[in-house]
Chain A
Amino acid sequence: MKADIAFGQYCEGNSFLHRLDPRWKIIFALMYIVALFLAKNIFAFGLVALSIVLLWALSGIRAGILVKGLRPLLFIIAFTAIINIFWLKGETPLLPENWFFQIYLEGIINAVLIVLRVMVLVTGTSILLTYTTTPIALTDGIEQLLAPLAKIKIPVHEFSMMMTIALRFIPTLIEETDKIMSAQKARGSDFSTGSLTRRAKALIPILVPLFISAFRRAEDLATAMECRCYTGGAGRTRMNILHSTWRDAVMLLILCVFVAGIVLLNIFAPGYRFTM
C-alpha cells in the first residue's frame, strides 16, 4: 500500500487522549518534554517510566505499534549507550584494575537513563501527538495557538493552508509518480542500473512530467478555490471549532502533578545524580 500521509501515523480510536483538544495536546507535549529534561535522579526517572505506561493506557494504542515506532531509533540508542558505558569515568570501577579498559557503574546507570529518556521522549510525544491526532487536527491546533502572531504580520493562516494542501496533494502526486514511472519503464527507462550520472539522467523523464502536472494541478486548484470564494484568512470561519473540555483540565492536572513530582524527587530523594 502507498504511504497514506493524510493520516500519517494516526491510529483510529476514541480514547481519552484521542478526544483531547489538539491545541492543549501541543502544550501538553511541550510540558512533557520539559519535565523529561528536569528529571535528574533514579527516582525521578522511575516516575518518568510510570508516566509512559499511564500515557499508553490512556491512548488505547497497541504496544506493538509503539515498539515499531522505536525501531528507526535503534542505532542512535545503541550508539549513545555504548559511548556512555565506555567513556564515562566514575568512582565505582566494575572490572579488575589492570585491564586495558574500564567500565564504571555510573557509566552503565547513565547509559540506561539516557536510553530511557530518548525512548520516553519519542514514544510519549508520539502518543500525545501523532498517534492520537490527525495531521489536519494538528495543523488546526498549531494555527489557532499561533493565531496571536498574525497581529505582528506573521502569515499563520497561509502557512496552515499550505500544510493542508500539501497533506491533500502528496498522496495524489505519489500516485502520479508511480504512473509516470510505469509509463517510462514501458518505454525502456531503466532507473536501477548504470552510473550515478546515468541514473540521475534517467530521472528527467519522470521529473519533467511530474512538475508539469503539479503546476497544472496548482493552477486548477487556485481557480477552484477562487470560485469557492476563498480570499485568504480574513473573515473566514471554521466548521469545527476546537473546544476545551473537562478532559483537557484533567490532563493538565495530571501533567502538573507529574512535573511537580519530578521536581520534588529531584530535590528530596536520595541517590544517584544523573550527570547529563
Chain B
Amino acid sequence: MSAIIKAEHLSFAYQGDEDTPPVQALKDVSFEIEEGSFVAILGHNGCGKSTLAKLLCMIYTPDEGRLYINGRDMTADDVEEKDIYDARRRVGMVFQNPDNQLVATIVEEDVAFGCENLGIPSEKIRKRVDEALDTVGMRKYARHATHRLSGGQKQRIAIAGVIAMRRKCIIFDESTAMLDPGGRKEVMDTICRLNREEGITVIHITHYMNEATMADRVLVMNEGTVIMDGTPAEVFSRCGELWEAGLDVPQTTELLWKMREAGYDVRLDIFDPEECAKEIAKAIAEKR
C-alpha cells in the first residue's frame, strides 16, 4: 500500500486586507492517506477542514510544508501547470453546494464534461459516462435536465463526473451538508460502495458523526490542527475531547459514556443501536 496523498507540516493563512490581520487557517498539519482507504475529516465550521480540502486539490498553495500527490511533490519549485493538471486527473473533488458544480443542462453532458476536458475520444467518453451513471445508479436520468433533480441526485451526478475521469481518489468537501436525510443516505451509500467495490480512496469532510463512523479512519481537526487521528472506535471513545472541539458524539456512545460515568464497565466504541443495547444489558447483568 502506498500513500496517494502525503502532507508534511502544511500551514496556510488567508491574507487579510489593510484593516484585517491574516487568518491562520492551518498550522503544521501532517498526515498520509493510504490508497484505497476511507478517511473522514471531522471538525466544526472554521476549523480549517475546508481550507485543507482546497490545498489538497491545489486551489491554494500552502505557505509552508510539503504536499505529495501520488509521490510527486506539488510544492516543489519546478511544479508547472502540467503537473497540477496531472494531479487533478488523479484526485477529484465533490463540493458542498450541489447547484454550483454542475456545468451542463443535461445530466450526461455534465458527466462527460471532465472527460471532454481530458481530450478523450468520443466513443470512449460515451462508454465511460454510461458506466459512471450505472455506478451511481442514475442511468435512467441520462437525458434529464440537471436543475430538476433533487439535491442527492445532483451530488450523485457530480460523483459520476468524477469517476468517469477514472480518478483514484475523491475528496468530498461537506458534500452531504445541504441534503435532506434521504439525499444524505443516497450519497453515503454511493460513497461506501465506491470505496469498497471500486477501490477508490475517499476523503470525506463532514460534521455528521454518524457518517464518520462509516470510515476506516477519522481525523479530527480543531483550530487548524489535527487533534485526533485513529479508527472511529478510538476517536469516539474520547467523548470529552470531542465535546471540547465543538463536536458531538453518536448518541449510542454518549449513552455508554454516561453509563461508564455511573460506574458500569462498558465499551464506548459502539455505534449500532442493537449492539449498544446488548452491551448495556450485559453490563447491567454483570453488575448485579
Contact = CB atoms under 8 A, between A and B. Distances in A.
Chain A bound to chain B? yes
Interface of A: 4, 6-7, 134-136, 164-165, 167-168, 171-172, 216-217, 220-221, 223-231, 235-241
B165 A228 contact: yes
Contacts of A225: 103, 113
Contacts of B100: 216-217, 220-221, 224
B92 interface: yes
B145 A236 contact: no
Given A226-B59, A227-B57, A239-B126, A220 B95 contact: yes
A167 B95 contact: no
A164 B103 contact: yes
A227 B116 contact: no
A176 to B, nearest CB: 9
A164 B104 contact: yes
B59 A238 contact: no
Interface of B: 54, 57, 59, 85, 88-89, 92-93, 95, 97, 99-106, 108-109, 112-122, 125-126, 129, 145-147, 161-162, 165
Contacts of B89: 229
B105 A6 contact: yes
A272 B233 CA distance: 93
B88 A237 contact: no
Contacts of A136: 104-106, 109
Given A229-B89, A237-B120, A220 B101 contact: yes
A134 to B, nearest CB: 8
Given A220-B100, A220-B101, A227 B59 contact: yes
A140 to B, nearest CB: 10
Given A167-B105, A237-B125, A239-B109, 20 more contacts: A164-B103, A164-B104, A172-B147, A217-B99, A217-B100, A223-B95, A224-B100, A226-B59, A226-B88, A228-B88, A228-B103, A228-B162, A228-B165, A229-B89, A229-B117, A229-B165, A236-B117, A237-B120, A239-B129, A240-B109
Given A239-B115, A239-B129, A224 B101 contact: yes
A36 B161 CA distance: 46
A216 B102 CA distance: 14
Closest 7 interchain pairs by CB? Answer: A220-B100, A224-B101, A239-B112, A228-B114, A239-B125, A6-B105, A229-B117
Nearest to B85: A229
B51 to A, nearest CB: 13
A249 to B, nearest CB: 22
Nearest to B111: A239
B93 A237 contact: no
Contacts of A164: 103-105
Contact of A229 (B97, B105, B114, B145): B114
